Structures are given as C-alpha cells and as structure tokens.
Chain A
Amino acid sequence: DVKVTQSSRYLVKRTGEKVFLECVQDMDHENMFWYRQDPGLGLRLIYFSYDVKMKEKGDIPEGYSVSREKKERFSLILESASTNQTSMYLCASSPLAGGRHNEQFFGPGTRLTVL
C-alpha cells in the first residue's frame, strides 16, 4: 500500500515563527502536493511538484514556500507564520502516467495552530 506520512499530527506555533511541515511518500511517486483544508472551503492547493527541485504554485501560494530535494520528500515552509495560516495541512502524492495526473494518496494531515 502507498504510504504518505507527515511529520506531525498537531503543531502549535507562535506568530512570526518559521514553520516546517514535512511529508514523505514511499511509492516512488513523481508528483507531490500540499493542500490546506478549511471548513466550508474544501481543499485548496498551495504548491505541487513534478520532480525533484521542481515546484509549481497552486491556488494559494502566498506566505508559503516548498522544497523538494529528494523524490520521496516534500516540505512546506511557512516563512513567518500568521494566525490566518491556522489550518489542516494535507500532503498527497500521485504517480505520473502518460503525462496526466492519477489518483492522489493522502497523508493523515497536520493540524497547525498559530497563536
């Protein structure tokens, strides 16, 4: 089974702190994604990556950056955390077959609270 793991289930940080959220997948998937999930807003794509050192902005990249130095690991960075970044953060991965996206496999999520 595909496994996507996230470094923390719950995280509490202070405004202005730099925050790192880590995601690791064990199925050699090319694509990895970071979403935030908020009630009534569904999943919104922050960033995604097709390959090592490649990244693409999603719908809401402001205030975030990402790093993908190894194929299995995709990190989300909040440069200076703010209270409006309090949310559930979901990581996902998917294989790239024939140049198109397939089913995404999700991690358990990290619930981040910024005080």
Chain B
Amino acid sequence: AQSVSQHNHHVILSEAASLELGCNYSYGGTVNLFWYVQYPGQHLQLLLKYFSGDPLVKGIKGFEAEFIKSKFSFNLRKPSVQWSDTAEYFCAVNARQAGTALIFGKGTTLSVSS
C-alpha cells in the first residue's frame, strides 16, 4: 500500500530562516505529488504540484519543491520564511492509475516567530 511520510511533526523557525520540510513516499510506479497548506482557520489550499517534466517545481508564495525519484522524495523548500508562513503543511501522493485517491502525510506544523 502507498504511504507518505513527513519527517517533522513541528518545526519552529525565526523569520528569514530557510525552510526544508521532508516528504517521502512509498510507491514504485509513476506518481503525482502535491504540497498543501492550511493557514490557521482557513481551507486547505494547494501550494504546488508535480506531474511530469522539470523536477523542481515552483509554487505560490515563494515555495518550491524538488522531486527526486531515486529517493522517493518531494521536499518542500523556501529560502526565507515569514511570520505569515505559520501553518500546517501536508504532502500528498497519487499513483498514476485510475481509481487511486490522494494519500496524505500526517502534516508538519510550521511556527515562525517574528
């Protein structure tokens, strides 16, 4: 069965620090990869996604993620975080076959202090 592992449950950073959130998945075939964010009191929304092509994808608000197929990883990065990035971040994976829903990781809470 597919699974998604997010390495950090809670990350605490100061403003301007760099961010990297780890995500690994277990599935041997072709996948679609997503990062979602949930700001306090708001809907889950898409940060970025990878379907094919350039493994370095850029999303909203200065976030990017790199797909490394050999490591089954899709880590999220941001060079300089802001207080407004405080949120919960979810990695999700979908196996590219009809009938397979997204599998979400357990989430990483990011707290940014000003």
Contact B32 A48 (CB under 8 A): no
Contact B102 A101 (CB under 8 A): yes
* B58 within 8 Å of A (CB atoms): no
* B97 within 8 Å of A (CB atoms): yes
Q: How far does the Cβ of B70 sit from chain A's closest Cβ, in whole Å?
A: 23
Contact B107 A42 (CB under 8 A): yes
Residue in A42, A56, A90, A99 whose beta carbon sits within 8 Å of that of B106 in the complex: A42
Q: Which residues of A contact B14 (CB under 8 A)?
A: none
- Bound Cα distance A107, B102 (Å): 16
Residue in B32, B45, B49, B90 whose beta carbon sits within 8 Å of that of A43 in the complex: B90
Size of B's binding interface in residues, CB under 8 A = 25
A39-75 interface bits toward B, Cβ cutoff 8 Å, 1 = contact, 0 = none:
0111111001010000010100000000000000000
Binding site for A on B (CB under 8 A): 6, 9, 32, 34, 36, 42-46, 49, 90, 94, 96-107
The 9 closest A-B pairs by CB, nearest first: A42-B106, A99-B98, A106-B44, A43-B104, A101-B94, A42-B107, A42-B104, A106-B43, A100-B96
Q: Give me 29 A-to-B residue pairs in the complex whose CB atoms sit less than 8 angstroms apart, sorted by A's number.
A: A33-B102, A42-B104, A42-B106, A42-B107, A43-B44, A43-B90, A43-B107, A45-B101, A45-B103, A48-B101, A50-B99, A56-B99, A56-B101, A90-B44, A92-B44, A100-B32, A100-B96, A100-B98, A100-B100, A101-B100, A101-B101, A101-B102, A102-B32, A103-B34, A103-B49, A104-B102, A106-B44, A108-B42, A109-B43
